[in-house]
Structure 1
Amino acid sequence: MKLWQKENTSVSELVERFTVGRDKEFDLLLAKHDVAGSIAHVTMLGEVGLMTKEEANTAVAALQEILQEIQDSQFTIHEGVEDVHSQVEFLLTQRIGDTGKKIHSGRSRNDQVAVDIKLFLREQVLLMRDEVANLFDLLQSKSEQFKDKLIPGYTHLQIAMPSSAGMWLGAYAESLVDDTELLAAAYAIANKNPLGSGAGYGSSFPLNRTRTTKLLQFGALNYNSVYAQMTRGKTEKIVAMAMSSVAATVGRFAMDCCLYLNQNFGFLSFPSELTTGSSIMPHKKNPDVFELIRAKCNRIQALPNELAMMLTNLPSGYHRDLQLTKEILFPAIEELKSCLQLSVLMLSHMEVKDDILKEEKYRYLFSVEAVNELVNQGQSFRDAYRQVGNDIEAGAFNYDFSKGLHHTHEGSIGNLCTQEIKDLMDKVLAKF
């Protein structure tokens, strides 16, 4: 059954398989949103006189039953039914008769899909926000816990200056603040109502789009009907860009953990049950979780480009190309959430080794401290730099690094500004 099919016409089975693709699989994710959109639309139709009050009430009650079946995992798209929209209308007509055939007045599958995707992405962005916030809170907690455990800092993968495990973890917490800014922007884009734009050119029916916007709790309308359809693909790409930013942070953190667990670094440890072994090397404790997080996050970072290539050169109006955005984006959303959840699990059980910088190989980390000490004694920075550099080249560098460190400015080892970073995150979260 197809909403667009006329009598005495048929479609090639090969063409049908090709055009439907994996749509039914992803339509099940949209089902509750499709019914929510229909409830809002039918309520509005009853209010503007395109359905009687009694017809609208009957249809809404039946739609709510269908919604409950979806929430109870009792909803399927039957064989021979093209998509979720057709299935819902079929069930509705089956239950309440010809009244069910009226719910499509002033609506196209184009704006049905658009509203379904907006509602779905709005919900998913909030779920991703919550997972990011969980990881942020844990990073901050661990940052405070390990703020006095010194580790090497690196540039060019060469030892550079002293850092701390707290400073390292706090950096990723603050990175998530900026990533959440992009999630908030994606939420704002998804939180606009395209319902009532029809096939992209509005309707001669006296629809009340402001009413459906309120019923669906959208923040605003996509006013222009042409643009409402142009948000298909664009909304998905913007969400993907926000996801890519989160993935970049999480993937980079995973890479650090792979390095720091390595015996040549040896800064971190994790319980055996969170690492994997080797089939022939009994000593191995492999960071498979972090390696998969890294790989999945790299793949997620490619999403915006993949979606951009799909949208490139599309003129205004609806095109079937847009169907494919679901199979690109929807699985990636689940992958990002799982990467965030597993990062929380691993970080919850992470331990940091004591006295790392007491090893002889890290003595040159303190060369800048030696330079700064001479500057504090009155030398110019350039002269002090040259003196310490010459000592290092001559093998005469003997700075006493047991003196401790005295870094006090904002964002340094001794002043991580954890609360200030939390305040920034709270401001961003308030935008949702």
Structure 2
Amino acid sequence: MKMWSSRFKKELDSLANDFNSSIGIDYKMYKEDIMGSMAHANMLCATGIITDDDNSKIQNGLKNILFEIDSGELEINPMAEDIHMFIEEELTERIGDAGKKLHTARSRNDQVSVDIRMYLKAKIESIVIDLKTLIETLIEVAKANLNTVMPGYTHLQVAQPVTFAHHIMAYVQMLTRDISRLIDCYNRMNENPLGSGALATTTYPIDRFKTTELLNFKIPTRNSMDSVSDRDFIVELNFDISMVMLHLSRFSEEIILWASQEFKFIELDDSYSTGSSIMPQKKNPDMAELVRGKSSRVFGNLMATLNLIKALPLSYNKDLQEDKENIFDSIETVEMSILIFNGMMKTLKVNKENMRDKAKRGFINATDLADYLVKKGLPFRDAYKITGNLVSYCVDKNISLEELSMEELTNFSDLFEADVYKYIDLDYILSQRNVYGGPSPDAVKKQILDTKAYVDTLQIK
């Protein structure tokens, strides 16, 4: 029999009961539900609403239930309506009338709101830790490749020389922004809705600041109607996770390209690759492909949550029961994706010579050759035209700019001198791009130091 069934003359249809039940999803919040109930009972006792004896029974009963669920001794009943009812019913069965007093001055509306906030706060803390670990891995890869020359691309066409370290650090910057967004989201959801009741608080003399302190929230929420209907923080977290997955998906795309036979920039470790059932030579970048593919699930969860909320009147509506499945799926997806990506990056092999060779063959130093002529006094557009003609000449001859003889160079301009070979050397070019944020080894070293210092400041407080 449902705790709310006294108003009704008929029992809920069995199919309707299954449709109404959320225990298959919200059971994950059992710990938060118990912790929230313990804080609520302590507050009820502190304000004189329940006795010390009743509170003692509630606290001990809830602690035992938590221990037994954690240990596997107590199984959560899949036939229960939700995790809140399961725990309250289990408590009442164990301690009798004292258990029936737990829900005084509380509704499931503010109860579920506090549970989900506590659960998501803990998940954000975990995701931030995992992202920082991934950043540490990527920085180590960057430090090992400060002098690994590779082509930088625009439009997927060879553009200018960079280093593998500089390329990797571009993704590190994206991930640092992700951490910053997650912390901002944490701070916005760090408000306690408990005590808001169904929508209009209660006539009992409760102390919302007491439960706020006990549950480690920053402040109580300011409006009871908003408190029970607000799911902005779930939308925001879904967006923040979507951004993480977007960045990992972009990175995955490059990993897939780099690991191909056409690029051969990297080789993925066997432990993060799979084979073909019919083609024995294949080594597939399935982990990167799955991260790229799973990003679409997370984006879908974001859109589903937005659509869930867009037309809901104040205050609580049963539609909001659907909020948890989407965000829980997004969390589990991003957690696994970060761990997989970290292992994949830790174990990959960088084919430095292939990267350098591709850079040489892509006329990646053409801009620097034009700049050389500009420094000799030629207008840039004239220098650009001469360099373009030289590139066309090299294409016909199947050679690189570095392989041009002095005679060939002076056929195009008498401004060329022997020092030109220094100016179009890839290592020299990179060393000269020493602008803050640039790809020179020294600039990337500075970027690494500054990024590590910045990441250290990204703390949940």
**Contact preservation (8 Å) 1:146, 1:165:** yes
CA deviation profile, 1:150-197 (whole Å, cap 9, x unmatched): 111111111111121111111111111111111011111221111010
**Contact preservation (8 Å) 2:163, 2:439:** yes
> How far apart are 1:79 and its partner, in Å?
5.3
CA deviation profile, 1:379-432 (whole Å, cap 9, x unmatched): 3333322221232234487344546222211121211111111222222x2244
* Further displaced range: 75-84 or 99-108: 75-84
Aligned residue in 2 for 1:12: 13
* Further displaced range: 392-401 or 1-10: 392-401
Amino acid at match of 1:430: Q
1:402-421 equivalence runs, <5 A: 402=425, 404=427, 405=429, 406=431, 407-414=433-440, 415-416=443-444, 417-421=447-451
**Contact preservation (8 Å) 1:136, 1:176:** yes
> How far apart are 1:363 and its partner, in Å?
3.8
Secondary structure of the residue that 1:302 maps to in structure 2? helix
Aligned residue in 2 for 1:425: 455
Amino acid at match of 1:3: M
Q: Are 2:288 and 1:314 aligned?
A: no
* Further displaced range: 383-392 or 166-175: 383-392
Aligned residue in 2 for 1:152: 151
Q: Are 2:82 and 1:83 aligned?
A: yes
Aligned residue in 2 for 1:234: 232
Aligned residue in 2 for 1:398: 401
> How far apart are 1:359 and its partner, in Å?
4.6
Q: Relative to structure 1, is the Cα distance of residues 8 and 298 closer, same or farther in structure 2, using a 3 angstrom cutoff?
A: closer
Aligned residue in 2 for 1:103: 102
Secondary structure of the residue that 1:159 maps to in structure 2? strand
Secondary structure of the residue that 1:154 maps to in structure 2? strand
Amino acid at match of 1:5: S
Aligned residue in 2 for 1:3: 3
Q: Relative to structure 1, is the Cα distance of residues 294 and 80 closer, same or farther in structure 2, using a 3 angstrom cutoff?
A: closer
Q: Are 2:242 and 1:210 aligned?
A: no
- Distance (Å, rounded) in 2 between the aligned partners of 1:134 and 1:79: 36
1:92-131 equivalence runs, <5 A: 92-131=91-130
Aligned residue in 1 for 2:406: none
**Contact preservation (8 Å) 1:251, 1:298:** no
With the length of structure 2 as denominator, give the TM-score of the two structures.
Answer: 0.89
**Contact preservation (8 Å) 1:114, 1:194:** yes
1:233-272 equivalence runs, <5 A: 233-272=231-270
Secondary structure of the residue that 1:152 maps to in structure 2? strand
Larger Rg: 2
* Further displaced range: 259-268 or 214-223: 214-223
> How far apart are 1:34 and its partner, in Å?
0.4
1:29-44 equivalence runs, <5 A: 29-44=28-43
Aligned residue in 1 for 2:417: none
Secondary structure of the residue that 2:150 maps to in structure 1? strand
Aligned residue in 2 for 1:380: 379
Q: Relative to structure 1, is the Cα distance of residues 331 and 94 closer, same or farther in structure 2, using a 3 angstrom cutoff?
A: same
Amino acid at match of 2:312: L
Given the alignment, which residue of 317, 338, 344 partners 1:340? 338
**Contact preservation (8 Å) 1:28, 1:76:** no
1:156-305 equivalence runs, <5 A: 156-231=155-230, 233-305=231-303
> How far apart are 1:49 and its partner, in Å?
1.1
- Distance (Å, rounded) in 1 between the aligned partners of 2:460 and 2:31: 26
Q: Are 2:321 and 1:323 aligned?
A: yes
Amino acid at match of 1:141: E
Secondary structure of the residue that 1:151 maps to in structure 2? strand
Identical amino acids, percent of aligned pairs: 31
Amino acid at match of 2:20: T
Amino acid at match of 1:235: F
Secondary structure of the residue that 1:280 maps to in structure 2? coil
> How far apart are 1:290 and its partner, in Å?
0.6
Q: Relative to structure 1, is the Cα distance of residues 380 and 77 closer, same or farther in structure 2, using a 3 angstrom cutoff?
A: same
Q: Relative to structure 1, is the Cα distance of residues 47 and 374 closer, same or farther in structure 2, using a 3 angstrom cutoff?
A: same
* Further displaced range: 126-135 or 7-16: 7-16
Q: Which runs of 5+ in 1 are unaligned?
A: none
> How far apart are 1:344 and its partner, in Å?
0.5
**Contact preservation (8 Å) 2:365, 2:426:** no
Q: Relative to structure 1, is the Cα distance of residues 363 and 8 closer, same or farther in structure 2, using a 3 angstrom cutoff?
A: closer
Q: Relative to structure 1, is the Cα distance of residues 121 and 403 closer, same or farther in structure 2, using a 3 angstrom cutoff?
A: closer
- Distance (Å, rounded) in 1 between the aligned partners of 2:130 and 2:376: 49
Secondary structure of the residue that 1:390 maps to in structure 2? helix
Q: Relative to structure 1, is the Cα distance of residues 337 and 403 closer, same or farther in structure 2, using a 3 angstrom cutoff?
A: closer
Q: Relative to structure 1, is the Cα distance of residues 25 and 79 closer, same or farther in structure 2, using a 3 angstrom cutoff?
A: closer
Note the aligned Cα RMSD (angstroms).
1.7
CA deviation profile, 1:26-84 (whole Å, cap 9, x unmatched): 22211010000000000000011110112112211211111212222333332543111
- Distance (Å, rounded) in 1 between the aligned partners of 2:376 and 2:331: 56
> How far apart are 1:370 and its partner, in Å?
0.9
Aligned residue in 1 for 2:409: none
**Contact preservation (8 Å) 1:192, 1:220:** yes
With the length of structure 1 as denominator, give the TM-score of the two structures.
Answer: 0.95
Secondary structure of the residue that 1:262 maps to in structure 2? coil
Secondary structure of the residue that 1:303 maps to in structure 2? helix
- Distance (Å, rounded) in 2 between the aligned partners of 1:303 and 1:81: 26
> How far apart are 1:268 and its partner, in Å?
0.3
**Contact preservation (8 Å) 2:131, 2:338:** yes
Equivalent pairs, count: 428
> How far apart are 1:267 and its partner, in Å?
0.1
CA deviation profile, 1:9-39 (whole Å, cap 9, x unmatched): 311112112222xx21222211010000000
> How far apart are 1:341 and its partner, in Å?
0.1
CA deviation profile, 1:77-135 (whole Å, cap 9, x unmatched): 32543111111111211221101100111000111111110010001111111111111
**Contact preservation (8 Å) 1:136, 1:173:** yes
Q: Which runs of 5+ in 2 are unaligned?
A: 403-420
Q: Relative to structure 1, is the Cα distance of residues 371 and 318 closer, same or farther in structure 2, using a 3 angstrom cutoff?
A: same
